[in-house]
Chain A
């Protein structure tokens, strides 16, 4: 059996989450990857161990991974594949269901475990239940959670690169602009340590209280929906049912109450620390180490203590 993995990218780099999708697909059989974009990305893909072939779509219409042309391309290639896989990020979730509909397949999103070639485990109800589902479709179309599969290495492989031609698709969408947050910090989804702030951070300015701590820990910064909605940080910081799903070694929550929608995005972290001044905050029910205190007093002390 062979799986086709849509390898999504950002700013000329393969997204790390996509490398987890390669690991997941390898459990299903041989792995071919599809790169829609620059030749340099196709070359990087060829170096990923475990990849047997890189399909490279260089046509400009694919450069921004728009769903309409890309889904049509995947459908044109689907014939030889049993599984079509992508990381459960914004690109995979945008493109794969469209391709699945064109293939008359019911997609299986957010897979966290592969039982066998047709049986998969996925969270439902914001992770409050885990469903094991078996697909009767001829092809399986799935997105996988990167937190559940280790990322494949990025060097050591040497797969052949094959060019694929563009295929016709309705020209109904056009890329206009993109605004990416330029952060020097590690990628939120794959960071080893995540420092997150909630409504308790009070303002955009005060949210920066967390910066020295994140610097000291080499951490990514995350946030609750309330912090994003209040404009303290941009949307891509959101952790939770409808934001990013993270499972770092260490997750530190400051001024976050612990609503189920937030827990859905971080409760698989190895160690959880919660700082909250409300002793009843539900976040304490999942925290390995909780501290009832004012975060604005705790954070500077933490930074000092870490220097010791």
Chain B
């Protein structure tokens, strides 16, 4: 079984993003970019399944600008076997990404697609579910545990009130939550090896997918900043303030 893992290049999670002065978006020039943290977890899960013998090949794919090559190389340094870069504008919408991925799924015929649950730039949490819909496949979103056996995936999902388990007929879609695993660091020898692994580049237009966004950005603004309040010296003072000043207790 082949596993496809879509990975997105995003602003590193340690960076506090800054809104552009003209309100047109978030400034990404000169900002450190990394693989979306959830996608590292997705890659790790796929590589572990291959190491356990449940999968034979891990193919990573990114839809974005040329620079997304770096993200794909990182994924290959973690153990993915080969990569596909679909060239498009930076940060296409989930609907467009899902349509691109559907085309690649039709071509590659994977038994499983593992995505991140959410990209930490647009915070959409949508692409995996949309791809599952387009393909008519089952979906195990927000996964904290995955077991593959007898043509099925048994997935533990983090839901509002606790944890739910579902069983999916393969092929299926899984989206990785934070507690699915702890991704490995790529070792230096593996980073070197990854440079020689195959990376194929395709234009989104060649796939015949309409990439035009459906949402237009009217403006992007900073949220109103909270100001630091005061420091209190004792528990008595704290309770007094909460009672008489803030009036919350």
Listed in ascending order, the chain A residues whose CB lies under 8 Å from chain B are: 10-11, 15, 17, 64, 66-68, 71, 89-91, 93-102, 104-110, 119, 123-137, 170-181, 189, 193, 217, 225, 228-229, 234-236, 241-242, 244, 249-250, 260-261, 267, 270-273, 284-292, 298, 301-302, 305-306, 308
Contact = CB atoms under 8 A, between A and B. Distances in A.
A155 to B, nearest CB: 23
B169 A180 contact: no
B161 A236 contact: yes
B166 A287 contact: no
9 contacts: A10-B161, A89-B160, A93-B125, A101-B130, A130-B221, A170-B137, A176-B166, A291-B235, A302-B238
B123 A236 contact: no
Given A97-B124, A172-B138, 7 more contacts: A64-B164, A100-B133, A124-B220, A132-B219, A236-B163, A291-B231, A298-B235
B248 A271 contact: yes
Interface string B77-93: 00000000000000001
Contact of B215 (A11, A106, A249, A289): A106
Contacts of B188: none
A120 to B, nearest CB: 9
A117 to B, nearest CB: 14
Contacts of A133: 215-218
A89 B2 CA distance: 32
A286 B117 contact: no
A133 B220 CA distance: 9
B141 interface: yes
Contacts of B241: 289
Contacts of A105: 95, 214
B162 A132 contact: no
B109 interface: no
Interface centre among A124, A273, A287 (most CB of B within 10 A): A124
A250 B161 contact: no
B126 A109 contact: yes
Interface of B: 11, 13, 16-17, 19, 26, 93-95, 98, 117-118, 120-127, 129-134, 136-142, 144, 154, 157-169, 172, 177-179, 213-223, 226, 228-233, 235-236, 238-239, 241-242, 246, 248-249
A179 B162 contact: yes
B236 A175 contact: no
A298 B235 CA distance: 7
Nearest to B230: A289
A292 B237 CA distance: 13
Contact of A107 (B16, B94, B168): B94
A129 B220 contact: yes
Contact of B226 (A11, A98, A286): A286
Contact of A125 (B11, B141, B159): B11
Contact of A172 (B16, B136, B163): B136
B172 to A, nearest CB: 7
**Shortest Cβ-Cβ A-B pairs, 6 listed:** A172-B138, A101-B130, A288-B229, A101-B133, A97-B129, A106-B214
Contacts of B93: 106
Contacts of B125: 93, 97, 109
Given A106-B93, A134-B216, A126 B154 contact: no
B242 A137 contact: no
A124 B125 CA distance: 11
Contact of B141 (A67, A102, A170, A285): A67
Nearest to B240: A305
A127 B169 contact: no
Nearest to A135: B215
A170 B94 contact: no
Contacts of A261: 13
B166 A306 contact: no
